[in-house]
């Protein structure tokens, strides 16, 4: 598998980068102005929602360009998706 071969070739760099991403708890990454569990001003949720978790293969970067996401058992990437 090409992805595993690349990860093996750059193991030390990947390990250093991946560990650097995990310096903060998930709560510290939350953007509270975009936090879907918050109440509306009348004390109710906007809608009932279904929560799923996905493991992406592609994502857009800060320049709106599509990039491949390294998503393996050793380096898992998971996104919480909440749909009304």
Reduced to 3 states (helix: H, G, I; strand: E, B; else coil), residue 21 is: helix
pLDDT band, very low/low/confident/very high, at 37 (cuts 50, 70, 90) = low
Q: What pTM value is reported for the model?
A: 0.50
Domain locations in the chain?
Answer: 2-83
Query: pLDDT tens, 41-83?
Result: 556 667 788 888 999 888 888 888 998 888 888 888 888 888 8
Distance CA 37, CA 15 (A): 33
Residue 41's H or E segment, with its range, is: none
């Amino acid at each position: 598998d090409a992805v595993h071969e690349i990860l093996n070739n750059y193991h030390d760099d990947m390990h250093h980068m991946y560990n650097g991403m995990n310096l903060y708890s998930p709560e510290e990454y939350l953007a509270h102005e975009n936090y879907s569990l918050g109440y509306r001003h009348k004390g109710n949720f906007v809608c009932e929602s279904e929560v799923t978790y996905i493991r992406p293969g592609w994502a857009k970067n800060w320049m709106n360009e599509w990039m491949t996401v390294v998503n393996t058992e050793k380096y898992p990437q998971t996104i919480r998706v909440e749909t009304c």
